[in-house]
Amino acid sequence: MRDVADRAGVSLSTVSRVLRGAPGVAPQVRRRVQRAADELSYVVSRNASGLVTGRTGRVAVIVPFLQEWYFGVALAGISDALREADLDMLVYQVGEIRAREGWTRALPLRRNTDAVITVSMDLSEEECRRLDDVGVPLVLVGQCERERTSVYIDNRAGAAGATRHLLNLGHTRVAYIGSRNGSWSSGSSRHRLEGYESTMARAGLSPWSVIRAPGIEGGELAMGELLSDHDPPTAVLAEFDTIALGAHRTLRRSGVRVPTSLSLMGFDNHEAAAVLDLTTVDQAPYDTGLTAGRLTVGVLNGTTERGTQVEMPTQIILRHSTAAPRGTRGLSS
């Protein structure tokens, strides 16, 4: 900065004002400083400016795993939103660390970030409070907690819509494959199951759900169990696409044709769903990320109230894995 000041023949204060876009600088001087900075390809040190302003210009994003498709897409949205506001994105992957006592302290968040965004972390009330201790706004993605800033989808409504789609096609034996990791099931997991069950109940049908470990294997096993019933379902809704993919594999191996003999539906609109022509529920993770990023920026600027909650829409993506049951003409969907 010293160099820029010298080159432009002004003081440090003036350079600082120009680079921050602060008012009170003669237009002519402003241009001169701007040019000097460009020529030296000078960028302010966020370290130093943060030291005095207390703002770091960085937002921490906490995700459980980076490998999974959903997080990459959500991160892309967050990244784009933050760039609009000239904020940098710090990414923390807390896979196994999560289990550790006080994992929140393992991350150097304290004065190193302006805000924290958690994605699909299903935080407990206590974990939220610990993150509050960091002293910066907390934005929850994929989780809705009262009084807290969050962006989420209505998993109940999504699953209900999917169930209705199958019912409208004329199916009556509609089963559901859900997931549970040990004894713990995530919020979205519970809500999707509830959406399915309430819709079935409202149609006067009894729900039929099989809960297995998440992932492809879980889907395979669950579908195997469903097929071995003396009167198998004619339609199956999976809690998410990966489960549906596993189910699909079992169906292929068993020679059950989709959708001719059985309709299969997923949830998430995972990349691979398109490949298998799987009807599913889209939840627009990119837009969710974008919204969360903008919300964060808003909260930081004070233009958005803390505690604002945004519900993102879900949408059924019709492909060719669902159809009216054999020998029936379904109602128009």
Q: Which positions lie near a copy of itself, rule CB under 8 A? A: 41-48, 50-51, 56-58, 65-69, 71-73, 75-76, 79-80, 83, 86, 88-93, 105, 108-112, 133, 216, 245, 248-249, 271-272, 274-276, 286
For residue 53, state whether it binds DNA (rule: CB under 7 A). Answer: yes
Q: Which stretch binds DNA (CB under 7 A): 19-27, 66-74, 149-157, 291-299?
A: 19-27
* Distance separating alpha carbons of residues 286 and 217, to the nearest angstrom: 27
* Residue 102 C-beta: closest distance to a copy of itself, Å: 9
What are the tokens at 213?
């470990």
Residues β-bridged to residue 177: 210, 238
For residue 301, state whether it binds DNA (rule: CB under 7 A). Answer: no
Which of 34, 49, 93, 261 touches DNA by CB under 7 A?
49
What are the tokens at 18?
């120009």
For residue 302, state whether it binds DNA (rule: CB under 7 A). Answer: no
Which of 40, 45, 84, 252 touches DNA by CB under 7 A?
45
* Distance separating alpha carbons of residues 177 and 152, to the nearest angstrom: 22
For residue 44, state whether it binds DNA (rule: CB under 7 A). Answer: yes
* Distance separating alpha carbons of residues 281 and 267, to the nearest angstrom: 5
Residues β-bridged to residue 176: 209, 237
For residue 11, state whether it binds DNA (rule: CB under 7 A). Answer: yes
What are the tokens at 14?
């003036």
Q: Which of 194, 151, 102 is nearest to 308 (CA)?
A: 151
Residue with smaller CB distance to a copy of itself, 111 or 326: 111
Q: Where are the alpha helices (DSSP H) in the chain?
A: 2-8, 12-20, 27-39, 46-53, 69-84, 103-106, 125-132, 155-168, 187-202, 216-227, 241-254, 271-275, 285-301
Residue with smaller CB distance to DNA, 41 or 183: 41
* Residue 88 C-beta: closest distance to a copy of itself, Å: 5
* Residue 41 C-beta: closest distance to a copy of itself, Å: 6
Residue with smaller CB distance to a copy of itself, 66 or 331: 66
* Distance separating alpha carbons of residues 75 and 57, to the nearest angstrom: 17
Contact string 151-180 vs DNA (x = CB under 7 A): ------------------------------
Residues β-bridged to residue 178: 211
**Count of beta carbons in the 10 Å neighbourhood of residue 285:** 26
For residue 292, state whether it binds DNA (rule: CB under 7 A). Answer: no
For residue 38, state whether it binds DNA (rule: CB under 7 A). Answer: no
For residue 14, state whether it binds DNA (rule: CB under 7 A). Answer: yes
Residue with smaller CB distance to DNA, 3 or 277: 3
For residue 31, state whether it binds DNA (rule: CB under 7 A). Answer: no
What are the tokens at 252?
């292929």
